[in-house]
Each structure stands twice: as C-alpha cells, then as structure tokens.
Amino acid sequence: KQEVTQIPAALSVPEGENLVLNCSFTDSAIYNLQWFRQDPGKGLTSLLLIQSSQREQTSGRLNASLDKSSGRSTLYIAASQPGDSATYLCAVDTGANSKLTFGKGITLSVRP
C-alpha cells in the first residue's frame, strides 16, 4: 500500500527566505506526483504536477523535483512571502483509476 509522508508537519520562516518542503513515498511505481496548496477553510489548488518521466517542474517562484527511485519529491519556494502561508500537500498517483494518495501536508507560516 502506498504511503506518503511529509515532515515536518509545520514550518515557520521569515519573509524572503528560500525554503524546501519534502515529500516521501514508499512505492516508487508512480504515474505522477502533484503538489497542492490549501488555504484555511478552503479546498485544494493544484500547484505543480510532475510526470514519472520528468525530474522537475517550475512555476514562478515554485520548483518541484522528483526522484522516483529514492521515493522523494521536494517543493522549493524562492523568496518566500507572507502570502505563501498555507498548507502544502503532495499526492502520488499509482495509475489505478487516477487514485491519489495524499500526504498530511506541511503547514507553512511566513513571518513578515
């Protein structure tokens, strides 16, 4: 059974800092991996999707990398801003009916 882990559960950084959020998964036979953002009381918004054949994806100040063989992904946020404060979840797709397995998320707080 696929398990997705995100550690730590919470992170607080000062504004302007570059930071890395980690995600690990137990079964490397994934179809793709996705990073989501969740604001308090809201649903999830997709940030980046990395296909299993890709190594990284970039969108603005966000860069996600994937190392399938070691079961790891990282989300890099450059020059963090208070508006980046949210919970960041990673999810892996094993290909069976596009079923996603989610990590529990990392709650990020960026202090002004």
Partner 1 sequence: DARVTQTPRHKVTEMGQEVTMRCQPILGHNTVFWYRQTMMQGLELLAYFRNRAPLDDSGMPKDRFSAEMPDATLATLKIQPSEPRDSAVYFCASGPPGGRPNEQFFGPGTRLTVL
Is residue 104 a contact residue for partner 1 (CB under 8 A)?
A: yes
In the block, residue with structure tokens 């296909």:
51
CB of 32 to partner 1, least distance (A): 6
* Contact in structure between 36 and 45 (CB atoms under 8 Å): yes
- The answer to the question of residue 11 lying near partner 1 (CB under 8 A) is no
106 close to 21: Cβ distance less than 8 angstroms: yes
Determine the distance from the C-alpha atom of residue 84 to the mean position of all C-alpha atoms in its chain, rounded to a whole number.
Answer: 13
Residues 47-86 close enough to bind partner 1 by CB under 8 A: 49
Q: Which is nearer to partner 1, 74 or 94 (CB)?
A: 94
Are 77 and 61 contacting, i.e. CB atoms less than 8 angstroms apart? yes
Residue 93 Cβ vs partner 1, minimum distance, rounded to whole Å: 5
87 strand-pairing partners = 38, 107
Give the nearest distance from C-beta 87 to partner 1 in angstroms. Answer: 10
Q: Site residues (CB under 8 A) for partner 1? A: 31-32, 34, 41-46, 49, 89, 91, 93, 95-100, 102-105
